[in-house]
Structure 1
Amino acid sequence: MPTTTHTASVRSASQRAHAVPPVDLPEIPDPRTVSTTDARTLSACLFRRLAALEEGTPEHQYVRNTLVELNLSLVKFAAVRFAGRAEPMEDIVQVGTIGLIKAINRFDVDREVEFASFALPTVIGEIKRFFRDTSWSVRVPRRLQELRIDLAKALDVLEQELGRRPTSAELARYLQVDEAEVVQGEQAANGYTAQSLDSSATDDEAPSAVVRRLGDVDPAFDIVDSVAALKPLIAGLDERDRLILSLRFGEELTQSQIGERLGISQMHVSRLLARILTTLRDGLMDDTPPEGPAAPSRAPAGTR
Structure 2
Amino acid sequence: MPHTRSGGLADAEDTPVRAERFRAALQTRVIGRVGIEGPQSFRALHLERGTGRLRRQDEDIAFVGPVLAWFPWTETQRVELGAGAQGTHLMLGSGALERALRQKPEAAQLRLLAGSPALLPLGRSDETRQAVRSCVDGILVETARAGLMGGAVIDSLLHVLLVLLYRDQPQATRAEAGGARALATRFTALVESHFRAHWTVQRYAAALGISRDRLNDICLRAYGRTPGALIRARLYQEARLYLENAPLSLDQIAALLGFSGTAQFSRFFKAQGGLPPGRYRASLRGAEGTVPMVPTAPYAWP
Tell me the TM-score normalised to structure 2 length: 0.27
Tell me the TM-score normalised to structure 1 length: 0.27
The higher relative CO (CA closer than 8 Å, separation ≥ 6) is in 2
Higher helix share: 1
Higher strand share: 2
Q: Greater Rg, structure 1 or structure 2?
A: 1
